[in-house]
Chain A
Amino acid sequence: MTTDSCDPDPLGGGWAGLRDVEREAAVTALFDRHHGELVRMAVLLGAAADAEDIVAEAFYELYRRWPRLRDPAAAPGYLRSVVCNLTRMRIRHLQVVRRHPEVDTPGPPIGSAEQEVVLREDQREVVLALQQLPVRQRQALVLRYWLDLKEAEVAAAMGISCGAVKAHTSRGMAALNRALSARQRADR
């Protein structure tokens, strides 16, 4: 019996192996393009030292669900959404842990030597004020003003409606304004 000319096993693993190679190549290309931006986004959202782990987890979720992804163009939005959810979960976990003072928790996310040197005083004030906001408001502001996403994209990333995005953004900006004004008054 001769070998079929359309043998689906050029890589030694059958169709499944071929699919795995394609999946890996696609996710690798996305990793190259979006990893840095997602790590920065996770840090801005409050993930601090866990940012890389959270982003790696998001990429694994994408890798696992790749065959079920309807449109590869939706992958960046999916990754943003997973990073937002995982960061929110991490912050909630830390909030619970901090209620138990006997457990050591990481310190505030801002304050590394490089950040102390690079950030100006006014920038540091904004970042500190942002970190005091509720998680949803912080997410809305970071996605809207740092990533410059549209309201619908922010809503998709956060898994909420456009109306809720508007509400979180406006409340977040108002709270930020109050916090910065209070700080300015205190400095005088």
Chain B
Amino acid sequence: MNETDLAERLRDSLGAFAGTVRTSPDAYERALREWRRRDRRRRLVAVVIAALVVAAADGVGLWALNHAGSRPPVVFDAPPPAVAPGP
């Protein structure tokens, strides 16, 4: 069989086979429900992760502040300079 004949036969067979395929009438409603459910779930997961990150950052910050009180200051450890009296 030459290539043109084979291509024609292939097109004909694929077209006939595709013609037997039926789609469900409620495919759109089911798909829409699923999109919305998964989208809500994705957003909820994102919010929970963001809340956990913020809570962890708060915890670390409070812990650091709590442990910093007993140490001498690092940046301004010299006594403040004397201010000359004004005229």
Contacts and interface: CB of A to CB of B under 8 A. Distances in A.
Interface of A: 24, 27-28, 31-32, 35-36, 39-41, 43-44, 51-52, 56, 59-60, 63-64, 110, 112, 114-115, 118-120, 122-124, 126-127, 130, 141-142, 145-146, 173, 176-177, 180-181
A173 B3 contact: yes
Contacts of A44: 14, 17-18
Interface residues of B, number: 30
Contacts of B28: 28, 31-32, 35
Nearest to B12: A123
B35 A176 contact: no
15 contacts: A31-B31, A35-B23, A39-B21, A40-B18, A44-B14, A44-B17, A44-B18, A52-B24, A52-B27, A123-B17, A127-B13, A127-B14, A141-B10, A146-B14, A173-B3
B40 to A, nearest CB: 11
A4 B34 CA distance: 36
Which 9 residue pairs spanning A and B have beta carbons closest together?
Answer: A126-B13, A146-B14, A123-B13, A40-B18, A56-B31, A40-B21, A115-B20, A123-B16, A63-B35
B13 A122 contact: yes
B21 A43 contact: yes
Interface in B5-55: 6-7, 9-24, 27-28, 30-32, 34-35, 38-39, 42
A86 B39 CA distance: 20
A31 B18 CA distance: 18
Contacts of A141: 10
B24 to A, nearest CB: 6
B65 to A, nearest CB: 35
Given A122-B9, A124-B13, A127-B17, 19 more contacts: A35-B27, A43-B17, A43-B21, A52-B27, A59-B35, A60-B35, A63-B35, A64-B38, A114-B22, A118-B20, A123-B12, A127-B13, A145-B10, A146-B11, A146-B18, A173-B6, A173-B7, A176-B10, A177-B6
